[in-house]
Amino acid sequence: MYLTIKETAEYLSVPEATVKSLIQQKKIRALFDGSEYLIYKDQFTTHLKQVEKYKHLIEEILSEPIPEDLDIKDED
């Protein structure tokens, strides 16, 4: 399935200018059909999986309780 620049920007949650810049830098593969760029959607599956893993890791770290500090109980 192919996406336009606008659809790709919505899919990746980034501005259209960023998608255009990444196409010009050849970091995103795209086809030009004479009037607009078409971007293959499946090239982002690995990236999106890695983002989900990173979000899950951050949630685990943030949900871990903070251990009590031993110095707090030591009142002179």
Decide if 7 contacts 40 (C-beta within 8 A). Answer: no
Q: Where are the alpha helices (DSSP H) in the chain?
A: 5-12, 16-24, 45-63
> How does pLDDT run across 21-74, given as a tens digit for each residue?
999 999 999 999 999 999 999 898 888 898 899 999 999 999 988 877 666 665
Distance CA 57, CA 14 (A): 22
**pLDDT category, 75, cuts 50, 70, 90?**
low
pTM: 0.64
